[in-house]
Chain A
Amino acid sequence: MRNYNENVQDMRYLTLDKIMDKYRDTTIKIIPVLQETQEIFGYIPEKAIKAIASTLEIPSSEIYGVATFYGQFHLQVRGENIIRVCTGTACHVQGSGRILESIMKTLGLADGVMTTEDLKFTVEPVACLGACGMAPVIMINEDAYGRVSLNDIPEIIARYQEKDGEENA
């Protein structure tokens, strides 16, 4: 697991403070605050929920309620590269189940663990990416791949194994 040193951590919470400043005097919308929080940390740490609760004076239970309601928010650390596997209807009939299995196998993931130990990858089955004409579809970070076949998978993943996540974004 990666350890961020204290200074880095403080910096990120400073950014969070700045974001909260924007929302202080408006009708507070928890979703955008959480979206921006997730952008800073890659997920929503418990400490951030507490910080938001005390600064914006909203019960942390309410924030937690919103964070767990929506599929987009994550309370666990996630990998540098996010592999979204579309499981929409069109992708389902074109075999997205096998694609997901094969990606998990390539990354050595099983039993509901979706993030690799080195924090390089997180696999996320998602409802529909809206590129149904290209089914089956996967998306790594912001790159969409259509008409994916089982044979393509190791090669596609290898492209991200070498580079840092940031460069691919």
Chain B
Amino acid sequence: MHSLNGLRQQFQYTFNESHKRARIVIGLGTCGIAAGAEKVWTAVSNYIETQGLEIAMMATGCVGMCYAEPLMEVHLPGEPRFIYGNLKPENAVAILKRHLQEGSPSPEYIVAQDPRGYEAAANIVKLGDTPFYKEQVKNVLGRCGLIDPDQISHYIACHGYEALEKVLDEMSPIKVIREISNSGLRGRGGGGFPTGRKWEAAYNSPGSKKYVVCNADEGDPGAFMDRSILEGDPHELLEGMAICGYAIGADEGYIYVRAEYPLAIKRLQKAIHDAESVGILGDNILDSGFNFKIHIAAGAGAFVCGEETALMHSIEGKRGMPRMRPPYPAQSGLWDKPTNINNVETYANIPHIIRRGADWFAGMGTGNSKGSKVFALTGKIKRTGLAEVPIGISLRDIVFNIGGGIQNDKGYKAVQIGGPSGGCIPESLLDTPVDYDSLLQLGAMMGSGGLVIMDEDTCMVDVARYFLHFTQDESCGKCAPCREGTMRMLQILEKICDGQGRPEDLDTLESLCRVVQSTSLCGLGQSAPNPVLATLRYFRSEYEAHIYDKKCPAGVCTNLLTYKINAEKCKGCTLCKNVCPVDAIAGERKQPHTIIEDMCIRCGTCISKCTFNAIYKG
């Protein structure tokens, strides 16, 4: 077999050398770009060019600190890496100028420093000591933010494709499968099925043509770890898929990426092309006799395609509708051939397990949930972003230590985990360890690991209505329980939010939930009632307030609100009166105004315009 060692040493040398020179690293993932990172990049590179400075610029993926984007890392020879955050094009150049001229970081924008063997600067927190990083372990996300995802040389320099070489060189397919089984890895996208068992089933299926499919249809709203891997370290996925191909005896793989991820598709295309050109993908990989090709199938926007049988129908170019199982994909999948299907994060774990061993992986986590898991922290939390932690850490740790607690120091209400299939966890259960089994007991599920944090201003009935609206909209319509059941549940929830709810609605809702759960064809329908059941279980009083008192305690459901003006605070500036779209505000200039309740459409425009905080929801 042809070894990559020579090439790797060469790449390592260039990679290490590049770290010795002055350079600036800017994260250009979708998050960074949404925060304005491209403009920062342009401003900084213009400055470097016009000043004739010898500083290299490198683009990287997401480091997970969405809350501080756009980020810029300044790395001068013999100094720690300094990471600046919350930048704008104007101040980025000023910060850089100051850093270069005075050699001192601007304290107001510095996020952390990473000494990396150099003498640390005084009074600046080290990256590994920041609350956001301290409890994290970076495996799957290890290279995101450190390498240029478009450079295969960077990936290879940082242990990339070592695992593939190892399996091709010294492991039989069954030995690979045993290693994955022993590691205890479970699917990172939804149900949490043991990965080794899945692979074994596909391996045991007779047939000379088999497929490896990657589910990159990250449809759960609130989860974006897969996008981050695709954008920040695409080769990690390719390597995991190639190892799977070798293990189950497949020579072709498909990555099903959602159409909403154009940047991920672009980076994957380049990664596949580069891997083919160095002989890591394609025919006779590294002269081992193993052939493996990877194709990209762009999704077309349907949540149900996250379900494996629907996803495969979609790759075949048909309507993405699920079908009954068995037969499972391992027996009859893509074009009726044996197929293994996992999601991005699952495949991304594979090279690490092969390279560092099953025992290393199984050393992290709890009883039946091993390894590390990436969580997306979003919603009303101070530090939004991606955090990779050992499974089994408590939700409280994630939300309050890593995430820094609730925005604007409001009260915590719930964390929603597992997307439209998951549930909400109240304050009293925050010490639950986050693992597959504990979450199921609470009526939630790991899902893909999206955590949406909700504060006291979030209405839980509205949240249930939101998810039902989503699942009802995305229901493919094939089976009646899901098609009709989600619609009926949504109608009831809308009624309750509108103040038309009746006491018996809650029982009807609960029995509907049970029917839809037990009789739907696929996971979408079976889990659609979860957000309703979980909110009924932990926040029943909010439903009751909507039904009996016709009040929305969180002040979200517009039909149950009245807007009022505090006469003592109102200065009579007429601003609200002028912006009211329906002329529902009365009052003379310099006299306290009043809102005419019958005419008010509760649009909230007045509240957002009032500069004296005189308008409140009652």
- Majority SS of interface residues in chain B? mixed
- Smallest CB–CB gap between A64 and chain B, Å? 11
Q: Does A157 contact B (CB under 8 A)?
A: no
- CB-CB < 8 A to A35: which residues of B? 259, 298, 300
Please name the residue on chain A nearest to B376 by beta carbon.
A132
- CB-CB < 8 A to A90: which residues of B? 221-222, 378-379, 384, 452
Q: In the complex, A66→B299 CA distance in Å?
A: 12
Residues of A within 8 A of B (CB): 27-35, 65-66, 69-73, 87-94, 98, 101, 126-135, 137, 142-147, 150
Q: In the complex, A125→B452 CA distance in Å?
A: 20
- Smallest CB–CB gap between B607 and chain A, Å? 11
Q: Which one of A71, A87, A94 lies within 8 Å of B301 (CB-CB)?
A: A71
- Smallest CB–CB gap between B546 and chain A, Å? 18
Task: Check if B262 sits within 8 Å of A127, measured CB to CB.
Answer: no
> Given A70-B300, A127-B219, is A132 in contact with B604 using a C-beta cutoff of 8 Å?
no
- CB-CB < 8 A to A73: which residues of B? 300
Q: List 21 A-B contacts (CB under 8 A).
A: A29-B317, A31-B297, A31-B300, A32-B297, A66-B317, A70-B301, A72-B259, A88-B221, A89-B222, A89-B450, A93-B379, A94-B380, A127-B221, A128-B260, A129-B30, A130-B224, A130-B261, A131-B30, A132-B224, A146-B34, A147-B34
Task: Check if B66 sits within 8 Å of A134, measured CB to CB.
Answer: yes
Task: Check if A150 sits within 8 Å of B608, measured CB to CB.
Answer: yes
Q: In the complex, A146→B384 CA distance in Å?
A: 12
- Smallest CB–CB gap between B578 and chain A, Å? 16
Please name the residue on chain A nearest to B35 by beta carbon.
A146
Task: Check if B30 sits within 8 Å of A144, measured CB to CB.
Answer: yes
Knowing that A128-B224, A137-B34 are A-B contacts, what are 4 other residue pairs whose CB atoms are under 8 Å apart, sorted by A's residue number? A31-B314, A129-B30, A131-B30, A133-B377
Q: In the complex, A33→B297 CA distance in Å?
A: 12
Nearest 7 A-B pairs (CB), nearest first? A133-B66, A29-B317, A88-B221, A146-B34, A71-B301, A70-B300, A90-B378
Task: Check if A131 sits within 8 Å of B222, measured CB to CB.
Answer: no
Task: Check if A133 sits within 8 Å of B376, measured CB to CB.
Answer: yes
- Smallest CB–CB gap between A40 and chain B, Å? 16
- CB-CB < 8 A to B67: which residues of A? 133
- CB-CB < 8 A to A146: which residues of B? 31, 34-35, 69
Q: In the complex, A29→B256 CA distance in Å?
A: 14
- CB-CB < 8 A to B317: which residues of A? 27-33, 66
- Smallest CB–CB gap between B83 and chain A, Å? 17
Please name the residue on chain A nearest to B467 by beta carbon.
A89
